[in-house]
């Protein structure tokens, strides 16, 4: 009897840890696409409308407009390295803050992912120059 209770508690704890980690995980494809300046892959994660802050652009843009703006950014600022500094979230939403080193300087990157159906989409993306 004690052994089966222990197994149930262990199973529930394992499920809790697994579910908690899955809410905070940022898809590797997003991280790699920023690191490589791959706007095609990154845009696959854009929601239909994206709140975007990139250089002199600060507004809500359609997916196509956001893709074009980010492509221009990557063309002018060739990425060298991208590291996630902090990430978190809760059920239905996750965020990450990272540091992007480019040929022209270092940028702070923030993005917010929200779940729609069974997929995650970028609702907000900020790429801001660091001093």
pLDDT of residue 65: 98
Q: Is residue 2 part of a domain?
A: no
CA 106 to chain centre: 18
Range of the domain at 67: 26-129
Q: How much of the chain is helix, strand and coil, in % rounded to 5?
A: 40, 45, 15
- pLDDT value for 17: 46
pLDDT at position 91 is 85
Strand 105-116 with 46-54, pairing: unpaired
CA distances from 112 to 11, 26, 52, 59, 95 (A): 31, 10, 11, 15, 4
For residue 60, give the nearest of 73, 72, 74, 46 by alpha carbon.
46
Asked if residue 96 is part of any domain, the answer here is yes
- Predicted confidence at residue 79, as pLDDT, reads 97
Q: Is the pTM of this model over 0.85?
A: no
Q: Return mean pLDDT, the chain.
A: 87
pLDDT tens series, the chain, 131 aa: 556 665 566 555 555 544 434 445 889 999 999 999 999 999 999 999 999 999 999 999 999 999 999 999 999 999 999 999 999 998 889 999 999 999 999 999 999 999 987 889 999 999 999 97
Q: How many structural domains are present in the chain?
A: 1
Task: Look at residue 39 and tell me if it is in a domain.
Answer: yes
Q: What integer pLDDT is reported at residue 13 of this predicted model?
A: 55
* CATH code, 106: 3.10.450.50
């Amino acid at each position: 009897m004690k052994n089966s209770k222990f197994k149930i508690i262990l199973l529930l704890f394992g499920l809790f840890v697994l579910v908690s980690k899955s809410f905070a995980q940022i898809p590797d494809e997003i991280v790699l696409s920023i690191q490589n300046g791959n706007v095609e892959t990154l845009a696959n994660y854009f929601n239909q409308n994206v709140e975007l802050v990139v250089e002199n652009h600060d507004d809500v843009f359609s997916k196509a407009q956001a893709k074009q703006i980010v492509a221009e950014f990557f063309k002018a600022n060739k990425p060298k390295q991208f590291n996630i500094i902090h990430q978190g979230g809760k059920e239905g939403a996750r965020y990450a803050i990272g540091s992007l080193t480019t040929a022209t300087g270092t940028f702070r990157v923030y993005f917010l992912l929200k779940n729609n159906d069974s997929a995650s989409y970028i609702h907000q993306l900020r790429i801001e120059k660091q001093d």
